[in-house]
Chain A
Amino acid sequence: MRYLLVEDNLALAKAVLDRLSLDGHVVDHAVTLETAQDYLSTADYDLILLDIMLPDGDARTLLKSYRMAGGKTPIITITARSEVSDRVGVLDLGADDYITKPFDFSELEARCRAVIRRQGGMANNIKRFGNTQFDPLAGTLTVASQRVQLRNRELRLLEIFINSKDQLFSKSKLVDRLFSYEDDVAENAIEVYVGRLRKQLEGSDLNIVTVRGMGYRLSVS
């Protein structure tokens, strides 16, 4: 997917950029309102992440003018303020959600997913593998014309595999991606979710292969 990130804190922006790129997303980064305007007038985005306090002004003006001009792309604002009135004001101006600094990436990911799903999603995001179609936004899997509804962790696990097909994931890496760091999760907890996902993928051309002593890998037959 294509993201526009408008954030003046370069270190934070770089971290978000790196993180989104790792998942295979394309991200443009604007530091000022002006460059953000330029990007918006030249490209179409699937999602906009917008910091409110920018060096050349309050990004709420951009939010307002973008919506007035008929812009439909979902927008999540990034704010460090704990004032609820600020956040609510942002929603009134046309933002779809807001996230408060500091956020952990899984929260950002979850919010992005929720916002895009609410928008109805884009058909071009559906991925096809043989007899299997995967709609990451709706969280549905279609195996041989049979629709399967995935639960949150199954969905995220499948996304991790699909975004890096044929890559080998160790259990500990999957644990880091799937669980928040608050929980002290035993590595074999991941086996439960791999087991469930395999069950959902029964009869599909997608297979999760166990590499003994190393981890798991997704393969398309």
Chain B
Amino acid sequence: MNGHVTATRSIRRRLIVRLLASAAILAVILFLVVQSFGRQLAQESQDNILAASVTSVLDAITVQDGALIVDIPYSAFSMLGNISDDRVFYRIEQNQVYLTGYEDLPFTTARSTKSQPAFATDHYLGEDIRLVTASRKLSLNNQPSVVRATIAQTRNGQKQTLRQISQTVLFLGIGFFAIAMVLTFYAAQSTIGPLRRLAASVSRRGPQDLRPVESPVPSEMVPLVRSLNQFIGRLKKSLSQSEEFIAEAAHRVRTPLATVRMQAEVTLRRVERDENREALREMIRAIDESSRAAGQLLDHAMVTFRTDHLLVETFDFRVLVDELVTRLRPIAELKEIDLRWQKGAPLLIKGDAILIQNAVRNLIDNAIKYSPTESSIKLTLSQDRSGAILQLMDQGIGFPDEGFELLTDRFVRGANAHDTIGSGLGLTIADDVANAHGGCLELKNNAEGVGACVIFYLPLR
């Protein structure tokens, strides 16, 4: 029954891979943005101090007796020193002529005033530096004069700050990714959830449960469930058609046979000549044989059909046997056969009641058929730890010594059964039913006395 299903990559894995990739990209972008923002912030704070420093240097320049006095205030450098142990350089020039400080310190030639200093990044003495240049106009000997001051600072402190920021941002990115990962798994799980529940609810059903799926599903799954329900509907229809067909076939075959048999019997009552009577008897026997065969073929077809679709329910095995015994007792009495049966305690089993009834009926039928007149058939129903055991013991001819195991094959009859009408399907049906329920049929001859002993075993499960 299980067809092969080709599986492509799972939806869950696809979802997870895609969501995780998006989360990783987002985390990297977050990292870069925050890092550059941090760098910008660090830069700005250094620049602000540099600007304050250069302003205070320029402010301290005074003119006395026509000479320029540069007195660099301590605070101009101390404010820079606050940041870290970075080195500080300066250079002051007047009208583009070097005045004091580090003569070879680079400076920016961008336009600058006192209030609007110009910034630049450069190298000096093998270190990265950030420098600021600002200029101030003075009147010297009634001549306009431009004083330009440049202050530079190495960037070790800023780099350290940047490293700290980067580290924090890296942790932030990793944290973001970790949270995204958890959410991704959760999202994938809850997306797959309805699919899983649908699959579980369909596979948990017994094969006979052909109700449509009615539990609510997400709108995306509605087309799938709708086609599943249509499929279930078609299956149900074809199953019931098969059963109808078997029943209809039974009707078609059996009714004319019943008519012919009845008429032959009536004729037999009226006919006097012995050879005619013998012919009629032969006819009735032939009809019996074919009607029995037809009946058992249909039983067998029904059994074969149903073993694929076991309709499992819980029922009392004892009640089933009791009803069969009650029904078959008039038939047994025709041969003065005593059906010995004690109803006993309830014995609940799980199985297809129709199949089990069919099997047990065939077994009792068989026993009646092969029993001599005025004998008895003993039925006992018992239970051991694992199963229910129905035992039938008759006082008939028993099974032949050879070929025991073949008797449950189709159309095989015992070597000693030629005198009795039969199709050779009764034991096959019982055996098939027992096997379909995980049980077995055991055939043996009674240890004491004559007769056959049949054990029909069904596990309790």
Contact of A102 among B254, B277, B333 (CB under 8 A): B254
Establish whether residues B262 and A101, one from each chain, have CB atoms under 8 Å apart when the complex forms.
no
Residue of A nearest to B258 (CB): A102
B277 touches A18 (CB 8 A): no
Does B38 interact with chain A (Cβ within 8 Å)? no
Is there an interface contact between A9 and B266, defined as CB atoms closer than 8 Å?
no
Do residues B250 and A82 form an inter-chain contact, with CB atoms below 8 A? yes
Q: Are A103 and B258 in contact (CB under 8 A)?
A: yes
The yes or no answer to A127 lying at the interface (CB within 8 A) is: no
Is B257's CB under 8 angstroms from A102's CB? yes
Q: Which among B256, B285, B330 has the greatest number of chain A C-beta atoms within 10 A?
A: B330
Chain A residue at minimum C-beta to C-beta distance from B257: A102
Q: CB of A124 within 8 A of chain B?
A: no
Cβ A11 vs Cβ B333 within 8 A: no
Known contacts: A82-B298, A152-B336. The answer to whether A12 contacts B250 by CB under 8 A is: no
Chain A residues lying within 8 Å of B257, measured Cβ to Cβ, are: 101-102
Asked if B384 is an interface residue, CB under 8 A from chain A, the answer is no
By the criterion CB–CB under 8 Å, are A84 and B357 in contact? yes
Question: Is B335's CB within 8 Å of the partner chain A?
Answer: yes
Is B159 an interface residue when CB atoms closer than 8 A count as contact? no
A residues within 8 A CB of B302?
82-83
Interface flag for A97 (CB, 8 Å): yes
A165 to B334, CA, bound (A): 23
Nearest-neighbor residue (CB-CB) of A80 within chain B: B251
B265 touches A (CB below 8 Å)? yes
Distance of A4 Cα from B314 Cα, bound (Å): 39
Asked if B285 and A84 make an inter-chain contact with CB atoms under 8 angstroms apart, the answer reads no
Which one of A25-33, A34-42, A57-65, A175-183 contacts B?
Answer: A175-183
- Nearest opposing residue in chain A for B354, CB measure: A84
Asked if residues A83 and B269 are in contact (CB atoms below 8 Å), the reply is: no
| B357 near A102: Cβ-Cβ < 8 Å | no
Question: What is the interface size of chain A, counting residues whose CB is below 8 A from a CB of the partner?
Answer: 41
Contact assessment for A12 and B255 in the assembled complex, using a CB-CB cutoff below 8 Å: yes
Which B residues are CB-close (under 8 A) to A15? 259, 261-263, 265-266
Question: Across the interface, do B266 and A180 meet the contact criterion of CB distance under 8 Å?
Answer: no
Stretch of A67-75, A107-115, A129-137, A202-210 that contacts chain B: A107-115
Does A201 sit within 8 A of B, measured CB to CB? Answer: no
A144 contacts B by Cβ under 8 Å: no
Given known pairs A82-B302, A181-B288, A182-B420, the reply for A12 and B336 (CB within 8 Å) is no
Asked whether A101 and B288 contact (CB < 8 A) given A110-B331, A153-B336, the answer is: no
Residues of A within 8 A of B263 (CB): 11, 14-15, 18
Cβ contacts under 8 Å, B327 to chain A: 97
Q: Given the complex, which residues of B lie within 8 Å of A110, measured CB to CB?
A: 330-331, 333-334
Q: In the assembly, what is the distance between CA of A123 and CA of B251, in Å? A: 38
* CB neighbors of A among B332-375 (8 A): 333-336, 353-354, 357-358, 369, 373
Q: Is the CB of B247 within 8 A of A182?
A: no
B291 part of interface (Cβ distance < 8 Å): yes
We find that the number of chain B residues with CB closer than 8 angstroms to chain A is 47
Contact of A80 with B288 at beta-carbon distance under 8 Å, contacts A11-B263, A153-B336 already known:
no
What is the distance, in angstroms, from A111's C-beta to the closest C-beta of chain B?
5
B317 nearest CB across to chain A (Å): 15
Q: With A18-B266, A97-B327 as known contacts, state yes or no: A80 contacts B250, CB within 8 Å.
A: yes
User: At the interface, is chain B mostly helix, strand, loop or mixed?
Assistant: helix
In the bound assembly, the distance between CA atoms of A173 and B270 in angstroms comes to: 10
Q: Which residues of B contact A184 (CB under 8 A)?
A: 419
The distance from the CB of A182 to the nearest CB of chain B, in whole angstroms, is 5
A contact patch SS: helix
Which residues on the A side are within 8 Å of B357 (C-beta)? 84
* Most-contacted residue by chain B among A19, A102, A103, A151 (CB, 10 A): A102
- Residue A172 at the chain B interface, CB threshold 8 Å: yes
CB <8 Å contact, B255 and A102? yes
Interchain CB contact under 8 A, B274 and A53: no
Write the chain B residue with the least CB distance to A86.
Answer: B247
Q: Are A105 and B265 in contact (CB under 8 A)?
A: yes
- For A83, list chain B residues within 8 Å (CB): 243, 247, 302, 354
Chain A residues with CB under 8 Å of B255's CB are: 9, 12, 80, 101-102
What is the chain B residue whose CB lies nearest that of A173? Answer: B269
Please tell me if B170 contacts chain A, counting CB pairs below 8 Å. Answer: no
Known: A82-B295, A172-B274, A173-B269. A101 touches B251 (CB 8 A): yes
Is B281's beta carbon under 8 Å from chain A? yes
**B419 neighbours in A (Cβ, 8 Å):** 184
Separation of A85 and B354 alpha carbons in the complex (Å) = 7
Are B330 and A182 neighbours in the complex by a CB distance under 8 Å? no
From 78 to 131 in chain A, residues with beta carbon under 8 angstroms from any chain B beta carbon are 80-86, 97, 100-107, 110-111, 113-114
Whether the Cβ atoms of A113 and B259 lie closer than 8 Å is no
A184 to B254, alpha carbons, bound, how many Å? 25
Does A22 belong to the interface (CB within 8 Å)?
yes
A138 at the interface (CB under 8 A from B): no
Q: Which residue of chain A lies nearest to B311 when distances are taken between CB atoms in the complex?
A: A85
Answer yes or no: B389 CB below 8 A from chain A CBs.
Answer: no
A25 to B274, CA, bound (A): 27
A16 at interface, CB cutoff 8 A: yes
| B421 at interface by CB-CB < 8 Å | yes
Q: B225: which A residues are within 8 A, CB to CB?
A: none
Chain B nearest CB: distance from A15 CB in Å?
3
Cα distance A80–B243 in the bound complex, in angstroms? 13
28 contacts between A and B (CB under 8 A): A12-B255, A15-B265, A16-B262, A53-B251, A80-B251, A80-B254, A82-B250, A83-B302, A83-B354, A84-B358, A85-B354, A100-B254, A101-B257, A102-B291, A105-B262, A107-B331, A110-B331, A114-B329, A114-B330, A153-B336, A172-B277, A181-B284, A181-B288, A182-B288, A182-B420, A182-B421, A183-B373, A184-B419
Closest 8 CB pairs of A and B: A15-B262, A102-B258, A80-B251, A110-B330, A101-B254, A12-B259, A11-B259, A102-B257
Additional A-B contacts beyond A113-B330, A151-B336, A172-B277 (6; CB < 8 A): A12-B262, A22-B269, A80-B250, A82-B247, A82-B250, A180-B334
